[in-house]
């Protein structure tokens, strides 16, 4: 099973700041990593479908990078609606489908 | 409009079973794998398994094997997840999610591009 470890657990920033979220895989997964955003009371939403490609309708302030075992999701300038929980998911080796434990992005 | 609409909240006693439905619209139900993911209160996402509406095939996470069934009815574009022998730690929001494409050697497994709104299952005596 591929284990995904996200850091930090919680990130406190202000609107307009840059956010950098990390996801590390227990073995190489190429660029087969997806990112999801979840707001309170809502289902997760697909943000990035591989390490660096945005899903349909996702604003350009969201970007991703990485390959192998280390990945980063960057939000260039935080908007109020970006404060949420973010999960990574590996798409390289199923089953099982695995997610990271999440990073909570909160308003400072 | 492509969407998944789930059945409503359920309250069950320990030892009982629950069956959650997930109705697809706006796309060909048989053409996409359907996954089930749950989220306990304040916790992260936990994958439970998948259902292939075209073949009826399934794959489950090890911790749910023997306790979960995933089925579907292509005539009404609806998938179902049944969990048996419920325990208090099964209290969670259960989501269905569409896998955007099947496995491809170049692009890997498709991510989950469409999610249901979630169904809260509460297990309490």
Task: Identify which of B44, B47, B115 has the shortest CB distance to residue A97.
Answer: B47
The rounded mean pLDDT for chain B is 96
Q: How confident is the model at residue A85 (pLDDT cuts 50, 70, 90)?
A: very high
Query: Residue A58 burial (CB < 10 Å; 0-12/13-18/19+)?
Result: middle
Q: Which residues of A touch B59 (CB under 8 A)?
A: 94-95
Q: Do A100 and B44 touch (CB under 8 A)?
A: yes
* Cross-strand partners of B95: B37
Q: How confident is the model at residue B105 (pLDDT cuts 50, 70, 90)?
A: confident
Q: What is the 3-state secondary structure (H, E, C) of B43-100?
A: CCCEEEEEECCCCCCEEECHHHCCCEEEEEEHHHCEEEEEECCCCHHHCEEEEEEEEC
Q: DSSP secondary-structure letter at A26?
A: S
Q: Do A89 and B35 touch (CB under 8 A)?
A: no
Task: Identify which of A43, A46, A87 has the shortest CB distance to residue B116.
Answer: A43
Q: Does B50 touch chain A (CB under 8 A)?
A: yes
Kindly state the average pLDDT of the residues A30-42.
Answer: 96
Q: Do B118 and A43 touch (CB under 8 A)?
A: yes
Q: What pLDDT does B104 receive?
A: 82
Counting residues of chain B whose pLDDT is more than 90, the rounded percentage is: 93
Q: Do B45 and A99 touch (CB under 8 A)?
A: yes
Q: What is the pLDDT of residues A10-35, one digit of tens each?
A: 999 999 999 999 999 999 999 999 99
């Amino acid at each position: 099973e591929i284990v995904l470890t996200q850091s930090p657990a919680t990130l406190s920033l202000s609107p307009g700041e840059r956010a950098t979220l990390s996801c590390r895989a227990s073995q190489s997964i190429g660029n087969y990593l997806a990112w999801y955003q979840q707001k309170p009371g809502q289902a997760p939403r697909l943000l990035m479908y591989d390490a660096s490609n945005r899903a349909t309708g996702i604003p350009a302030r969201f970007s991703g990078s990485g390959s192998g075992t280390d990945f980063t999701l960057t939000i260039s300038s935080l908007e109020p609606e970006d404060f949420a929980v973010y999960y990574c998911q590996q798409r390289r080796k199923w089953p099982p489908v695995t997610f990271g434990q999440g990073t909570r992005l909160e308003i400072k | 409009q492509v969407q998944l609409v789930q059945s409503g909240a359920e309250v069950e006693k320990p030892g009982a079973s629950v069956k959650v439905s997930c109705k697809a619209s706006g796309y060909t139900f048989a053409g996409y794998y359907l996954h089930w993911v749950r989220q306990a209160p304040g916790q992260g996402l936990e994958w439970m398994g998948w259902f292939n509406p075209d073949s009826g095939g399934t794959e489950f996470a090890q911790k749910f094997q023997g306790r979960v069934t995933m089925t579907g009815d292509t005539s009404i574009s609806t998938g179902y997840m049944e969990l048996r022998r419920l325990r208090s730690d099964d209290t969670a929001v259960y989501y269905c999610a569409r896998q955007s494409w099947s496995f491809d050697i170049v692009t890997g497994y498709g991510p989950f591009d469409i999610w249901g709104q979630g169904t809260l299952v509460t297990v309490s005596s």
